[in-house]
Amino acid sequence: MKRTAYFVLFSVVLVAGCQNQDYARHVLVPDRTVGKLASTLCGSGEYVLKQKRIDSVGRMKLADGAELDVWVVRARKEPVQGTVLLLHAMGESKACYLPLGERLAGRGFDVALIDLRAHGESGGKYCTFGAREAGEVKLVADTLLEGKSVRPPLYAFGPGLGGSVAIQYAALDSRCKGVMALTPYKDFRSAGRRMLFPIAPAMSNEHFKEIVAEAGKMGQFDPDQASAVGRLPSSSAPCCWSTAGSTSPSPWKTARKSSRPPPAPRSSSTSPPSSSRSSFRPPATSGSPTSSTSWRGKDCRRSSCWFAPWGL
């Protein structure tokens, strides 16, 4: 009983001692440690280019002055099957996914690896959970297609933040013919709640609403627009999501109904409509929860998270 009382008291004091800006900054400013470490180990864009692991490197300037760093790997065999936009998770960078990009190139795909804003070698201070990133990914796609650096059709893949951005991007770009998202964030509010829970577990709903509003001002975006579930009806691209406890990808319309982690691994597979031209091909049903999802020959291992109320 005493422990509970001390815990509640500590939480109240912590909440009272922090300003709304501090909490908003905690959500919007990603920890770049993992991404920077991967970039350091992998090497700079020029170094990787000299090693011939990638075919081009570039920086694209955004309206607010920030720049996005992009690597392109051209398909290593014919026929070219399209282009995959690889979008990293929160705190990571494109360097984390270069081995995946190389394998996809070996399967006949052009690959664009993008450091989202406030990540890796890209500029920008705040992550907006897709509200701005979705349009920026489309800008990258426009630029690369116009310069013939990559070839259509387009597909998007990403885990966590990258998955959420991929879904929101697909709603803006009719050229995107398929999305695979691994444990994507549902929306900004649910993700923010999850991120703040460890430091402010007793935060009231009213206080959280104030922090959401403050985050919108700081990042100059509309928090309500940062929603994968909200953008889903606007997307014509087949969209699959994957979570721990399932043995195959499922259509995202199922995800909208998900509010709790599954009680047990699913034993059946749910496939997209047969009339769809999606490049995502759910594998045969498997009883092992550690089985992988086959996406045009590349195995994508499951994350250890689930699609829960807070969006993970």
| Residue matched to tokens 């490197």 | 57
- pLDDT value at 154 more than 50: yes
Higher pLDDT, 270 or 49: 49
Dig out the tokens for 116 from the structure: 């989202």
Q: Which of 86, 82, 103 is nearest to 95 (CA)?
A: 86
Could you give the CA distance from residue 166 to residue 88 in angstroms, rounded to a whole number? 10
Report pLDDT for 242.
Answer: 74
Mean pLDDT of all residues in the chain?
80
Report pLDDT for 74.
Answer: 98
Higher pLDDT, 223 or 260: 223
Tens digits of per-residue pLDDT, 207-235? 999 999 999 999 999 999 999 999 988 88
Banded model confidence at residue 240, pLDDT cuts 50, 70, 90: confident
Tens digits of per-residue pLDDT, 37-51? 999 999 999 999 999
Task: Compute the average pLDDT of residues 288-311.
Answer: 29
Query: Is-contact 126 118, C-beta < 8 A?
Result: yes
Could you give the CA distance from residue 63 to residue 51 in angstroms, rounded to a whole number? 32
Q: Name all domains of the chain by residue range, CATH numbers in brackets.
A: 18-258 (3.40.50.1820)
Query: Is-contact 302 159, C-beta < 8 A?
Result: no
- Angle subtended at Cα 56 by Cα 54 and Cα 61, rounded to the nearest 5 degrees: 130
Banded model confidence at residue 246, pLDDT cuts 50, 70, 90: low
| Residue matched to tokens 């406890």 | 245
Could you give the CA distance from residue 270 to residue 48 in angstroms, rounded to a whole number? 40
Banded model confidence at residue 239, pLDDT cuts 50, 70, 90: confident
Count of positions (residues) in the chain: 312
* pTM of the full structure: 0.77
Could you give the CA distance from residue 122 to residue 263 in angstroms, rounded to a whole number? 40
